[in-house]
Amino acid sequence: MHVKRKQLIYSIVLVGFGISFGLMLYYGVKTFQVDEVSTAGQASYDVHIALIMEEEGNEYWHFIEQGAKQQARHYSLYLDDIGPKKSDPEEKLLMIDRMIRANVDGIITQGIQGSRFKELVSKAVENGVPIVTIDTDVPSSERASYVGTDNYQAGVLAGETLIADTTGKKFVGAVIGKFDALNQQERLQGFKDAIAEVERIELVEVVESNITEIGATQATYTLLKRNPKVNVLIGTSALDGIGIVQGIEEMNLRMGHYILAFDTLPRTLELIEQEKIDATIVQHPFEMGKLAVQQMMKLQNGEQVKTKEFTDTGVIRKQDVHQGQMTSTGDLP
């Protein structure tokens, strides 16, 4: 009796073991097969490009990403689109370094102020990794090409727009994305140069928004508290105009400020139609993404590229927007 029970237990254990072993083999092989397929999938990409954005989840950068992805599909290349959660130059520099060490075939990145960026670009070039700057340039680096707005000229255009659209004494408060962002500095310089000779227009103060809407709202609050005579507000990065309107509404000010924004995000267009934003400077982020990948492909094929590939800029006002859509890009001839 005792021996029989032992035999039964042994048989159960043995059958159990047999089943588990069988399952292990079956799923092991399956896993292996899946691995094989995915590796084969990746191997079909000959070129691996990294796109390093100012921040993830930013609507403006989303358009750049879309343009780049469209071209990546067109050329069948592998595109890694990455960026810090919130704009952070240090984190972006680390990402560039990581991509160079990962030995990607090329890097498209926003230009960053400071010597570390230039050192990394040189390191990339030494390692045979070409760099294309996008949206913000660092011409003194060894980057092969820049694709994006002529930021200084865009600032000049903002100044000229203000001159054309207004009369009488104007005190300007500027909300810029970041003090340390080169494109913001260039836009501001262009704006200052454009209004320099016009006595009735005076730039009173410049505050930064940290490229967030809430930051622009707070910046507007600060600006208007400190300078109640300010009657013009200009925002030089994509969410600044939206934040400025919010700030003015929260302060319950109905002084008919003239507001000049940057970019054509859907909410900016809405505010233009509602006559809360007077004009906005047009950039073409989708086009930038597309062109940057095209430049990179030329570099991969050993072709010559232009060192600067400016995308168009323009200005649009209420008459150029209908039901949330731009009816003109306001491009300059």
What are the residues binding ligand BGC (CB under 6 A)? Answer: 54, 58, 60, 135-136, 177, 183, 211, 237-239, 262-263
Cβ pair 311, 287 in contact under 8 A = yes
Q: Which two tokens stand for residue 248?
A: 């003015």
CB nearer to ligand BGC: give 100 or 154.
154
CB nearer to ligand BGC: give 63 or 105.
63
CB nearer to ligand BGC: give 219 or 239.
239
Sequence-ordered alpha helix ranges (H) in 102-211: 115-126, 151-165, 182-195
CB nearer to ligand BGC: give 132 or 211.
211
Closest separation between CB of residue 54 and ligand BGC, Å?
Answer: 4
Q: How many angstroms separate the Cα of 267 from the Cα of each of 125, 187, 246?
A: 40, 22, 12
Closest separation between CB of residue 110 and ligand BGC, Å?
Answer: 7
SS3 letters across 33-98: HHHHHHHHHHHCCCCEEEEECCCCCCHHHHHHHHHHHHHHHHHCCEEEEECCCCCCHHHHHHHHHH
CB nearer to ligand BGC: give 136 or 161.
136
Residue of 52, 75, 74 lying closest to 65 (CA atoms): 52
CA distance 29 to 95: 36
CB nearer to ligand BGC: give 81 or 135.
135
Q: Is 330 exposed, middle or buried (0-12, 13-18, 19+ CB in 10 A)?
A: buried
CB nearer to ligand BGC: give 67 or 177.
177
CB nearer to ligand BGC: give 133 or 295.
133
Closest separation between CB of residue 128 and ligand BGC, Å?
Answer: 28
Amino acid found at 22:
G
Q: How many angstroms separate the Cα of 295 from the Cα of each of 7, 136, 140, 149, 191?
A: 75, 16, 19, 15, 30
Closest separation between CB of residue 173 and ligand BGC, Å?
Answer: 18
CA distance 84 to 295: 24
Closest separation between CB of residue 288 and ligand BGC, Å?
Answer: 9
Closest separation between CB of residue 96 and ligand BGC, Å?
Answer: 16
Residue of 48, 317, 263 lying closest to 135 (CA atoms): 263
CB nearer to ligand BGC: give 124 or 134.
134
Q: What are phi and psi of 64, to 5 degrees?
A: -60, -45
Amino acid found at 184:
Q
Closest separation between CB of residue 86 and ligand BGC, Å?
Answer: 11
Amino acid found at 173:
G
Closest separation between CB of residue 147 and ligand BGC, Å?
Answer: 12
Q: What angle do CA 102, 107, 108 make, to 5 degrees?
A: 150
Closest separation between CB of residue 159 and ligand BGC, Å?
Answer: 16
